[in-house]
Amino acid sequence: MGQVRIVFKLDHDKFHYMAVGDDQQREMPMDIDRDIHRGHAKALGYKEAVQLIHPHNSMFKDQVDDKYQYSCDIKDNKVHGWISNKSHVGFWIISPSGEYRSGGPTKQELTSHVGPTAIASFTSGHYVGSDMDTRYKSGEAWKKVLGPVFIYLNSGDGLLWEEAKRQSKEEVKAWPYDFVASSDFPSCRERGTVTGRLLVNDRFLTPGRFAYIGLAPLGEAGSWQKNTKGYQFWTKTNETGYFKIDNVRPGTYNLYGWIPGYIGDFRYQNRVNVASGSEIRLGRVVYKPPRNGPTLWEIGVPDRTAGEYFVPEPYKNTMNPLYLNHTDKFRQYGLWQRYTELYPNHDLIYTIGVSNYSKDWFYAQVTRKIGDSTYTPTTWQIVFHLPYVNMRARHGIHGLYRLYSINVPGRLLRTGTNTIYLRQAKASGPFEGVIFQTQKFRLRFNLSTSWFMSSKEKPTLGGTRIKTRKRNIAAPLDPAAFSDALVQIYLDNAGDLELVAKSLESSDLNFSRYGDIFFEVVFIGGRTQTGSVKSDEGERHPYSIIDCEPKREAILPSVVYIQKILRRKAFLIKNLENVTRRFLQSLELFEENERKKLAIFTALAFSQKLSGLPAETVFQPLLKDTLVAKGIVLNFVTDFFNEYLVENSLDDLISILRRGKMDDKLLEFLPPTKRTTESFAEHFTKAGLTALVEYNERKIFEVKLKEIKAVLTSQVTEEINVDEVTEMVKQQVKDAKLPETEVVHVIWDGIMNAVQWSGKNQQQNSNAVLRQVKTWAPLLNTLCSTGNMEMELMYKVQMQCYEDAKLMKVFPEVVRSLYELDVLAEDTILHWYRKGTNPKGRQTFVKGLEPFVNWLEEAEEEE
């Protein structure tokens, strides 16, 4: 079966205006204008194309009409149709889904054309040929639901095309339709969803940006292009490689795709089994493009279009005005004939580093016309300078995309200038050759110093194995085999960690030798490249920690699973520490969502008291300058703190930070440009961690106190000028924004810490204290400037004399000295004596101070 379609033939007296796209709409000739037998038109190179000689409307004279000029890729073919300017009516065919259409998103199909004709095409051989025929084996039973398509009629004096586009969007949202009663057409709730993230491993790991990715029947990479019997479901990844394929019919599929900018087709190594109502999370899907060395040079852009190559201007007497100055001007008739005019004496020669493919690479390698009906093959040359040997060429074509490899023996190459000849061998007519009208031609030359990939090799996705998988999982002797065997256990048990743990217990896998690899498989689903977090070749599974949802209930089972493994294999504790440290040091290589999952895991690991994860293993690697500067560390610890505090207290968190030597360095988690207490408070307050903000403020306060006290003690000890010390203290107190009470404590501690004690001689100690007080009284007098601060100083002296036995008896003398030096006022001393609230040593101190107080009171009475 070669073709299945629905065709609508409209009233030729009413519908004259056709619209296929925003920039593909025009008044159209009538069907009678194509009649070559009546002399209305002239036959051209193939039957679908005619030149209009005597059209009903002279505006079409000499134009070419060809239905293929209005073809469209399935991915872009959502709505097309006709408008009657007489009746103000629009007729539109809307295709809300591509699932039932054969050939995938890049298959070109007819849309609307002269007739007026409108087509809903389901399968055809256009642009492909017999490869698209649907073939059946003897006795084979097969069925497929084609459609439904939506026929939309609108009317009015308004913008009928814009209304049709709006209606098209509504129909896409409504898919799958709920009015279809057939059991062969699953409803929305009976369909599944597949999500994941596509990455490209081409020397380093990058997101598969804006790639086409889809589910199609089982087959080889690229087989979706020729599949006609099954259903296909396609989407595009976003700029970070994430994708979501909705409304997938239940069934077993392969995941296929390709990425603009990279050659080759890929296929995910595991089958995707979609059940009714299922949500399948594939996690990271890694595509490794075919490569056997660095790219030496490249002609064009590997995006499966020919838009970047040179397309000549059409002949004036055979042009379609729609495609003048149009991005699709390659659809003009007869462009291939321009090659002979552009290259009358010799074929195209393209010199690498000199030529420009947008001007010098003809969009199609065609034959050369040498007579009325005589054509000769053409041979193009690519001239390039080569410093090495051993190379290969690849080129792909669009229509059916194929990847060809040509091995060039090194003996044929030489240092300096080399030339590659591309000969188009057949020449029976003008249409023999490599046609790039809507196709992509690409040459890519890779240098290799040692080996070539055979023509049987295929690009790999997510670790598709080139070598045969070793099914025996007993004691593999290399890292790759160990990883693949471990991944297979996950896959065999569908990610059930209880069953995985049991299988590991009964296996002979060499955990002592490959402990790091074990945890790599646990964390990211497969083995990483040596010394990095990038995925290496080999199998991977979708049940890893970074493939989970970023929720505690999704990640906690992995923590419990690891704890169970460590109880049985305690020697793996060091491996867990190694891998954790490496991953944390490389957080920038993970996506934001993946980092969040690692933070949740780490918090749960501490919350569950997971063995083998010392606090310093977590926090010290995070202090890598680049990670901190980018704000990655701040976001990570925020997620960590929030998750940990769900079931633990702030004191527990501080204990972990203290063990990690970070309890007094929390500001170091902030980027250098934002490393202030204000920024810390703003960030963590927004994150709901006000208790942590308060703790940090207290901790910073304590640190500042220690610093000021240490500096003051040092300067007092060195007997620096009192005025200089006073100015220094005043500035530091101002910068630290210390409250009055703390100012007093800092000054007194700094002065007393500098006292030179003399051991057991009480009198000498008393004299030393009084000398220190006398020397530094100006400092105390300057900073203890209010009654409250004087009272605080009284309490501070009381506490120090109470806590230090050698100062118990010196309290009255110190107070009297501070009075005489105008540091303490009479009212302050009397208030403390009569109403002091600190009970520590008070009875003793009050008794010792009584004579001095009596003297003050007597002096007060005399006044």
What is the per-residue pLDDT for 536? 62
Most confident of the ranges 29-38, 789-798, 805-814: 29-38
CA 765, CA 577: separation in Å to the nearest integer? 54
What integer is the mean pLDDT of 449-468? Answer: 34
CA 817, CA 832: separation in Å to the nearest integer? 16
What integer is the mean pLDDT of 60-82? Answer: 92
What is the per-residue pLDDT for 129? 78
544-549: long-range contacts (C-beta < 8 A, 24 or more apart)? 544/283, 545/597, 545/598, 545/601, 546/283, 546/284, 546/590, 546/594, 546/597, 546/598, 547/281, 547/282, 547/283, 547/284, 548/597, 549/281
Task: Specify the higher pLDDT residue, 738 or 209.
Answer: 209
Q: Residue 70 pLDDT more than 70? A: yes
Q: CA angle, corner 448, sides to 444 and 449, nearest 5?
A: 160
Q: Calculate the alpha carbon distances from 415 to 385, 419, 420, 423, 817 in Å.
A: 7, 12, 14, 24, 96
Q: 290 near 201, Cβ under 8 Å? A: no
CA 792, CA 38: separation in Å to the nearest integer? 116
Omega within 30 of 0 (cis) for the link into 116: yes
Q: 409 near 388, Cβ under 8 Å? A: no
Give the model's confidence band at 405: pLDDT under 50 very low, under 70 low, under 90 confident, else very high.
low
What secondary structure does DSSP assign to 528-579, as a single string? BPTTSSSBPSS---S-SGGGS-SSHHHHHHHHHHHHHHHHH-GGGHHHHHHH
What is the per-residue pLDDT for 531? 58
DSSP-derived secondary structure letter, 268 = B
Give the model's confidence band at 461: pLDDT under 50 very low, under 70 low, under 90 confident, else very high.
very low
Q: Calculate the alpha carbon distances from 188 to 166, 173, 795 in Å.
A: 22, 11, 77
Q: What are phi and psi of 412, to 5 degrees?
A: -85, -10
Q: Residue 439 pLDDT more than 60? A: no
Q: What is the pTM of this model?
A: 0.52
What is the per-residue pLDDT for 387? 59
Q: 793 near 786, Cβ under 8 Å? A: no
Closest CA to 485 of 448, 445, 514, 449: 514
Q: CA angle, corner 622, sides to 620 and 626, nearest 5?
A: 130
Q: Residue 627 pLDDT more than 70? A: yes
What integer is the mean pLDDT of 608-618? Answer: 78
Q: Residue 105 pLDDT more than 60? A: yes
What's the chain's average pLDDT? Answer: 84
Most confident of the ranges 354-368, 449-463, 612-626: 354-368
pLDDT in tens, 538-597: 678 889 999 999 999 999 999 999 999 998 898 999 999 889 988 998 898 888 999 999
CA 103, CA 129: separation in Å to the nearest integer? 12
What is the per-residue pLDDT for 629? 92
Which of 336-345, 681-690, 801-810, 843-852 is the least confident region? Answer: 801-810
What is the per-residue pLDDT for 681? 92
What is the per-residue pLDDT for 736? 67
What is the per-residue pLDDT for 235? 96
Q: Calculate the alpha carbon distances from 579 to 46, 82, 398, 486, 613 in Å.
A: 65, 63, 44, 17, 11
Which of 122-136, 736-750, 843-857 is the least confident region? Answer: 736-750
Closest CA to 293 of 158, 407, 190, 369: 407
Q: Residue 395 pLDDT more than 60? A: no
Q: Residue 467 pLDDT more than 60? A: no
Percent of the chain's residues with pLDDT above 70: 88
What is the per-residue pLDDT for 296? 76
pLDDT in tens, 254-302: 999 999 888 889 999 899 999 999 999 999 899 988 876 667 788 888 8
Q: Which residue has the tokens 């069907």?
A: 31
Give the model's confidence band at 456: pLDDT under 50 very low, under 70 low, under 90 confident, else very high.
very low
Q: Residue 444 pLDDT more than 50? A: no
What is the per-residue pLDDT for 292? 67
- Please enumerate in sequence order all residues whose Cβ is within 8 A of that of 58, keeping only pairs 6 or more positions apart, or say none: none
What integer is the mean pLDDT of 143-147? Answer: 93
344 DSSP β-pair partners: none
CA 855, CA 863: separation in Å to the nearest integer? 12
What is the per-residue pLDDT for 417? 83
What is the per-residue pLDDT for 409? 67
Q: Residue 477 pLDDT more than 60? A: no
Q: 569 near 519, Cβ under 8 Å? A: no
Neighbours of 71 (CB within 10 A): 21
Q: 396 near 220, Cβ under 8 Å? A: no
